[in-house]
Amino acid sequence: MTLAIEVRDLTRRFGSFTAVDSISVDVAVGEVFGFLGANGAGKTTAIKVLIGLLAPSSGSARVAGFDVLTQSEEVRKRIGYMSQRFSLYDDLTPRENITLYGGIYGLADAEIRARGDAMLNDLGIMHVADKLVSTLPLGWKQKLSFSVAMLHRPDVVFLDEPTGGVDPVTRRQFWEMIYAAAARGTTVFVTTHYMDEAEYCDRLSIMVDGRIAAMGTPAALKAEFGVSSIDEVFVRLARPATATAG
Amino acid sequence: MRALRFLLRKEFLQIFRDPALVRMLFMIPVVQLLVLSNAATFEVKRARMYVVDHDASTMSRGVVDRLAASGRFVRGGGSGSVALGDDALMRRDVEMVLTIPPGFERDIVRYRHTAVQLLLNAEDGAAAAVTQAYAREILARYATELGTELFPATALAGARAERPPVRGQPAVQVRTRGWYNAELDYRHYMVPGILVQLLTIVGTLLTAMNIVREKEAGTLDQLNVTPVTRSVFIAAKLIPLWIISMVVLSIGLVVAKVAFGVPMIGSLFLVFGGAALYLVAALGIGLWVSAVTETQQQAMFVNFSILMVYLLMSGLFTPVSSMPEWAQWVARFNPMMHFISLMRAVMLKGAGFADVARQLAVLATAGAVVLTIAVRQYHKRSA
């Protein structure tokens, strides 16, 4: 099994607060890996360390075959990132955003044009390609963000709550896009709060208070906890006291 | 380098898509240049004078008439009492009290010299000095006209509690010729400096807000996960505002020439060469502020603090040579001071390359240092 992400005892502290507490995760190439956890469990912090926005306090991590601390520029060339918060330029059009990121990742003009057109068609937003992004509905913006993160065909893509605040139909389309990306060989590292989405992942981990409390395939996790849904697994782990009492 | 092209395009699109920003960039410096250059003058017109004429002769009336006829002074009252004049000065009803002693005309005719007294409100020292200089010149001219020596014994009323007005004949006669020819040059001297300051204020404000705004919007994280290098990123932030600032400078120079008749004796090429270097340093400071702050509010505050030092120690309002030793030392590191001195030297004196080589060298060094700091202080990954 070739590893796309290799995390060893990764810790990130902010002062005396340990946001990520010695986690170890392996994600295989082409896997869709669900990174679950309650709000404040440390998911976003862990992702920020993996994509090189935050320095780790201790431990190590390799992404796409390179060390995130010492070879961060090599890592950056090979990853895509979609943040929790919409982070494309609102005062540019979808096409201008695509051109910008295509250019930054070193795509040729013709390539940018071709991939941009294909993307806008796939997303069904060709008719607003030259309207300002600020005028688009959230669901479209989120899909655009994801597509821009995939524009340079990264080896690994990090999606931080990509479906937060979007309608069920768009969520379904999102997961179709995620599967399509995985089918092309991109490893997907995704966080979500929707437990039904967690069932779509090849494997997942559940983070509680900065530590990984459980990890495995959805089926294995359900079997381990003797429950019928990931939702129940999550509730048991995230609220241990309640779970024991019940 | 290819990434730079795309980032530049993005910056320009964002700037020109914001009408308020474009207005601010081009209108504010030009409008303020027009307004401030007219306002920032020491020229005194229609100063009110209180006349205490103890002589009431043809010649004493001649003194008053000459002062009033110059347009610099208007009669703001009069009586036979110096004390009433003092009160008027105290109440700020007048700026000057003119006292003509009894026997004024007789002394001129008999002894061929005499004195008048000018009391000035020196709360505003600069204005008092100019007012006094005008009065001296007018009196001196009248004296020449009368073929006699007539000179004022002046006392500045601002200090009169400690020092009673000095009357009588000064030991040394000083000829202050051409005092307000300097005033005529005043705008020529101020306009280039004000232009540089406005350019700096607008430029650093926009650069200081720029990176930090992307931090607040979250768009910076998205850029930071890409392979864009720090120097390309800083260059993309610097170049658009640098180009725009050069354009604004050109407009400002045209305004200076057309509206204020500021001469351009030296080479325009030197002025722009100096500006090219200066703007790297000035805008670089804004970027540096933006790279190390977290919110636009912080950036604004830090930038204003730096700007204050920058402006007040630029030698525009107070000459650097009259600052204390330590302040002169600080001012030597102020790129704005060097650029203003270069502008004046080239525009007003026609200084050539060799004359301003030192300023150019300082500006180039400042630019290189500031840019290096800005790039090094900007981190794609937070610690």
Q: How far apart are CA A95 and CA A109, in angstroms?
A: 13
Which of A79, A83, A91 has the CB atom closest to B17's CB atom? Answer: A91
| Chain A interface, best mutation among B7, B12, B226, B232, by max A CB count within 10 A | B226
Distance from CA of B299 to the nearest CA of A (A): 21
Q: Report if residue B318 sits inside a domain.
A: yes
Confidence of residue B185 (pLDDT cuts 50, 70, 90): low
Q: Report if residue B383 sits inside a domain.
A: no
Are residues B64 and B205 both part of a single domain?
Answer: no
Q: Can you say whether the dihedral through the CA atoms of B68, B71, B73, B77 is positive or negative?
A: positive
Are residues B352 and B301 both part of a single domain?
Answer: yes
Q: Cβ–Cβ of B224/A89 closer than 8 Å? A: no
Distance from CA of A47 to the nearest CA of B (A): 11
Residue-wise pLDDT tens digits, B302-312:
999 999 988 88
Give the residue from chain A lying closest to B3, CA to CA.
A104
Q: Cβ–Cβ of B382/A90 closer than 8 Å? A: no
Q: Report if residue B309 sits inside a domain.
A: yes
- From chain A residues 88-117, the ones with a CB under 8 A of any chain B CB are 88-92, 96, 99-106
Q: Report if residue B382 sits inside a domain.
A: no
Which of A76, A91, A96 has the CB atom closest to B226's CB atom? Answer: A76
Are residues B75 and B170 both part of a single domain?
Answer: yes
Q: Report if residue B36 sits inside a domain.
A: yes
Mean pLDDT over residues B20-46, rounded?
83
Give the residue from B117, B150, B183 where a domain finishes.
B183
pLDDT on residue B82: 86
CA-based nearest residue to A189, from A213, A205, A172: A205
Residue-wise pLDDT tens digits, B55-66:
989 888 988 998
Are residues B105 and B247 both part of a single domain?
Answer: no
Are residues B196 and B113 both part of a single domain?
Answer: no
Neighboring chain B residues of A104 at a CB cutoff of 8 Å: 3, 6-7, 223, 226-228
> Interface pTM (ipTM) of the complex?
0.91
Give the total number of structural domains in chain B. 2
Q: Which residue has the higher pLDDT, B28 or B111?
A: B28
Q: Which domain holds residue B70?
A: 47-183
Q: How far apart are CA B184 and CA B201, in angstroms?
A: 27
Q: How far apart are CA A116 and CA A113, in angstroms?
A: 5
R_g over Cα of chain B: 28
Neighboring chain B residues of A96 at a CB cutoff of 8 Å: 10, 13
Q: Is the CB of residue A189 less than 8 Å from the CB of residue A157? A: yes
Helix (H) or strand (E) holding B362: helix B353-377
Are residues B191 and B179 both part of a single domain?
Answer: no
Q: How far apart are CA B142 and CA B133, in angstroms?
A: 14
Q: How far apart are CA B227 and CA B3, in angstroms?
A: 9
Q: What is the mean pLDDT of chain A?
A: 92
The residues near A131 (Cβ < 8 Å, ≥ 6 apart) are A93, A94
Which residue ranges of chain A lie beneath pLDDT 70?
1, 240-246
**Which CATH number characterizes residue B93's domain?**
3.40.1710.10
pLDDT on residue B132: 86
R_g over Cα of chain A: 18
Mean pLDDT over residues B355-367, rounded?
94
Residue-wise pLDDT tens digits, B266-302:
899 999 999 999 999 999 999 999 999 999 999 999 9
Pick the CATH number of A3-91+154-245 from 3.30.830.10, 3.30.420.40, 3.40.50.300, 3.40.605.10: 3.40.50.300
DSSP B207-264: HHHHHHHHHHHTHHHHHHTSS--HHHHHHHHHHHHHHHHHHHHHHHHHHHHHHH----
pLDDT above 90 for B169: no
Copy the structure tokens of residue B301. 């505050």
Return the domain boundaries, chain A: 3-91+154-245
Residue with tokens 């030597």: B332
pLDDT on residue B172: 41
Are residues B62 and B163 both part of a single domain?
Answer: yes
pLDDT on residue B59: 87
Neighboring chain A residues of B5 at a CB cutoff of 8 Å: 103
**Distances A213 to A219, A237, B313 between C-alpha atoms, Å:** 16, 7, 61
Residue-wise pLDDT tens digits, B90-100:
888 898 999 99
Q: How far apart are CA A215 and CA A37, in angstroms?
A: 12
pLDDT on residue B153: 52
Give the residue from B140, B155, B183 where a domain finishes.
B183
Any idea which of B44-48, B185-189, B255-259, B348-352 has the lowest mean pLDDT? B185-189
CA-based nearest residue to B249, from B198, B307, B315, B189: B198
Q: How many CB atoms lie within 10 A of CB A143?
A: 22
Q: How far apart are CA B286 and CA B307, in angstroms?
A: 10
Q: How far apart are CA B196 and CA B334, in angstroms?
A: 13
pLDDT on residue B343: 92
| Chain B interface, best mutation among A89, A145, A189, by max B CB count within 10 A | A89
Q: Cβ–Cβ of A53/B10 closer than 8 Å? A: no
Q: What percent of chain B has pLDDT over 70?
A: 89
Crossing angle of helices B58-69 and B125-146, rounded to 10°: 130
Mean pLDDT over residues B315-319, rounded?
79
Q: Cβ–Cβ of B10/A96 closer than 8 Å? A: yes
Q: Cβ–Cβ of B225/A79 closer than 8 Å? A: yes
Give the residue from chain B lying closest to A157, CA to CA.
B225
Mean pLDDT over residues B353-378, rounded?
94
Q: How far apart are CA A129 and CA A95, in angstroms?
A: 5
Neighboring chain A residues of B230 at a CB cutoff of 8 Å: none
Phi, psi of B7 (to 5 degrees): -65, -40
Neighboring chain B residues of A91 at a CB cutoff of 8 Å: 13-14, 17-18
Residues from B contacting A (CB-CB < 8 Å) are: 2-3, 5-7, 9-10, 13-14, 17-18, 217-219, 221-229, 380-383
Q: Cβ–Cβ of B7/A104 closer than 8 Å? A: yes
Q: Cβ–Cβ of B6/A79 closer than 8 Å? A: no
Q: What is the mean pLDDT of chain B?
A: 85
Give the residue from B153, B168, B183 where a domain finishes.
B183
pTM as predicted = 0.81
Are residues B210 and B349 both part of a single domain?
Answer: yes
Are residues B102 and B173 both part of a single domain?
Answer: yes
Q: How far apart are CA A147 and CA A116, in angstroms?
A: 9
Are residues B264 and B343 both part of a single domain?
Answer: yes
